[in-house]
C-alpha cells in the first residue's frame, strides 16, 4: 500500500521535513515586554510532540513598535532573545521537531489591545500604546489613528531590525525563518495599492510596491547563516476590489523564488476592513493552487483544513505541497497522530507516550 501523500517527506531548502503537516504561527498575546514566558513553554512544548513536521513560532516583532499588541512576542534585544532561548531549550528537551519563526512588523495595525478584550488602538504616549508606522499615512480604518509614513531612514531602520532579528534567531538555534508579508501587516501594506500611496521607488507600480519586501527578504536571507531555510507567508488577495490580488501574488512569488525563497505559504486578507472573505473549508486552497502552478518552490496551503481526507486530497492532487494547521491543532493537539491513524501512516511520538497507541493502530508510532 502506497504511503499517503500527507506523510511523505519533503525538503524546504536544506531542511528535511518528515511529512507535509506544518503548524502555522499563532499569536498568543501572552508575552511580557516582548519576552516569552511559561505560557509559551507550555504552548509550544505540547505542539512540539504533535507529530507535525515543523512548528512555527508566532508573529514575532522585530521592533517593540512592530508588535501587534503590547503582549506580543519580540526578538529585538538581549532580554527577548534570552527568554526565547530558555523556552526553546525546554521544548527541545522534549522534541527534535524543526522550529521556524515568523518575523514580522505590524505597521499601521500595531499598538492595539489583545483580541479577547475590547478592540481598540491605543494612542501614542498612552500606557499601552505607541506611534505606528506604515508605507503611507493611511489608517487601517476610520476608528484608527493615522500612522507615520516611513522615510528613508525609517526604511533602513526597519530593514536592519529584520536583519538583527535574523541573527538572534540563528543564535537561539531556529531552523527556518518565515517572513510575514500577509494579514495586513507592514510588508503587506507595502505591496497593496490600498495602503501604499507612495510616490517614490517603493510605490505606484507592482515592481515598486514589492521592492521593499523583497529587499527585506534579501537582507534576512543573507543574515540567516547563508544556507538556512527562509520562506515567505503572503496574503494571496485582499478580498477587496482594487487591492492586492492573486495575479500580483504570482508575480511576487516568482520574484521571491528567483531570490532564493525556499517556500511560500499562501493565506489571504487582513489588509482592509471592507474585505469580503468567502470563508469555508478549503477557501484559500485555490490561491495556493494558482501559485503552485507558477513556481517550482514548495507551496503551503492553509485555512479551515480540518479533515484528514481533506488534507490528504490537497497534497495528493497537487494543489499544494504542504498544509498548515492552526486552530485545528489548538482544538486537537494530536491531529497529526489521528491523521496518520486514519490514513494508514506512521508518525513519531515521544517514547513515554508510545503505550498510548490504540491496539487497532498497532503500527502507528515510530519512537524518537
In sequence order, what E strands does 113-188 have?
Answer: 133-134, 148-149, 176-181
**Dihedral over Cα of 66, 70, 73, 78: its sign:** positive
Q: pTM score, two decimals?
A: 0.96
Residue 368 above 80 pLDDT? no
pLDDT of residue 365: 84
Place 354 in a pLDDT band, splitting at 50, 70 and 90. Answer: confident
Mean pLDDT throughout 34-38? 98
Residue 118 above 90 pLDDT? no
Chain segment 296-307, per-residue pLDDT in tens: 999 999 999 999
Chain segment 335-349, per-residue pLDDT in tens: 999 999 999 999 998
pLDDT of residue 367: 72
Q: How far apart are CA 2 and CA 307, in angstroms?
A: 20
pLDDT of residue 271: 98
Residue 360 above 90 pLDDT? no
Mean pLDDT throughout 161-165? 98
* CB hemisphere CA count around 75 (13 angstroms): 27
Place 1 in a pLDDT band, splitting at 50, 70 and 90. Answer: low
Residue 366 above 90 pLDDT? no
Name residues whose C-beta falls within 8 Å of residue 258's C-beta, 6 or more positions apart in sequence.
Answer: none
Residue 361 above 80 pLDDT? no
**Known catalytic residues?**
185
C-alpha cell at 254: 516568482
Chain segment 172-194, per-residue pLDDT in tens: 999 999 999 999 999 999 999 99
Residue 357 above 90 pLDDT? no
Chain segment 9-26, per-residue pLDDT in tens: 999 999 999 999 999 999
Domains identified in the chain and CATH numbers: 21-328 (3.20.20.70)
Q: How far apart are CA 247 and CA 235, in angstroms?
A: 12
Name residues whose C-beta falls within 8 Å of residue 208's C-beta, 6 or more positions apart in sequence.
Answer: 198, 200, 201, 202
Mean pLDDT throughout 275-280? 96
Q: Are 285 and 314 in contact (CB under 8 A)?
A: yes
pLDDT of residue 225: 76
In the predicted model, what is the mean pLDDT of the chain?
Answer: 96
Give percent above pLDDT 70 in the chain.
99
Amino acid at each position: 500500500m502506497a504511503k499517503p501523500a500527507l506523510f511523505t517527506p519533503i525538503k524546504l531548502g536544506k531542511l528535511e521535513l518528515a511529512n507535509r503537516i506544518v503548524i502555522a504561527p499563532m499569536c498568543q498575546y501572552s508575552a511580557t515586554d516582548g519576552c516569552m514566558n511559561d505560557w509559551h513553554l507550555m504552548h509550544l512544548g505540547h505542539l512540539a510532540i504533535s507529530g507535525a513536521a515543523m512548528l512555527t513560532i508566532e508573529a514575532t516583532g522585530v521592533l517593540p513598535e512592530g508588535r501587534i499588541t503590547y503582549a506580543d512576542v519580540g526578538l529585538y534585544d538581549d532580554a527577548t532573545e534570552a527568554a526565547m532561548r530558555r523556552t526553546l531549550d525546554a521544548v527541545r528537551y522534549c522534541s527534535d521537531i524543526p522550529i521556524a519563526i515568523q518575523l514580522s512588523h505590524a505597521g499601521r495595525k500595531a499598538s492595539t489591545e489583545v483580541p479577547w478584550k475590547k478592540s481598540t488602538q491605543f494612542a501614542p504616549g498612552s500606557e499601552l500604546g505607541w506611534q505606528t508606522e506604515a508605507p503611507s499615512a493611511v489608517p487601517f480604518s476610520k476608528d484608527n489613528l493615522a500612522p507615520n509614513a516611513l522615510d528613508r531612514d525609517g526604511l533602513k531602520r526597519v530593514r536592519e531590525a529584520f536583519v538583527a532579528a535574523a541573527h538572534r534567531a540563528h543564535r537561539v538555534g531556529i531552523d527556518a525563518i518565515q517572513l510575514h508579508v500577509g494579514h495586513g501587516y507592514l510588508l503587506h501594506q507595502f505591496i497593496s495599492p490600498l495602503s501604499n500611496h507612495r510616490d517614490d521607488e517603493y510605490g505606484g507600480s507592482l515592481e515598486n510596491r514589492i521592492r521593499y519586501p523583497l529587499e527585506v527578504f534579501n537582507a534576512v536571507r543573507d543574515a540567516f547563516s547563508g544556507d538556512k531555510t527562509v520562506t515567505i507567508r503572503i496574503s494571496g488577495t485582499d478580498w477587496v476590489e482594487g487591492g492586492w490580488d492573486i495575479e500580483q501574488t504570482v508575480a511576487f512569488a516568482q520574484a521571491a523564488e528567483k531570490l532564493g525563497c525556499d517556500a511560500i505559504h499562501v493565506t489571504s486578507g487582513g489588509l482592509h476592513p471592507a474585505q469580503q472573505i468567502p470563508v469555508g473549508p478549503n477557501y484559500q486552497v485555490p490561491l495556493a493552487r494558482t501559485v503552485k502552478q507558477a513556481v517550482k518552490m514548495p507551496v503551503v496551503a492553509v485555512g479551515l483544513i480540518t479533515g484528514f481526507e481533506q488534507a490528504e486530497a490537497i497534497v495528493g492532487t497537487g494543489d499544494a505541497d504542504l498544509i498548515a494547521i492552526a486552530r485545528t491543532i489548538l482544538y486537537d493537539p494530536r491531529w497529526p497522530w489521528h491523521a496518520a491513524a486514519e490514513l494508514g501512516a506512521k508518525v513519531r511520538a515521544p517514547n513515554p507516550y508510545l503505550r498510548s497507541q490504540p491496539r487497532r493502530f498497532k503500527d502507528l508510532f515510530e519512537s524518537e
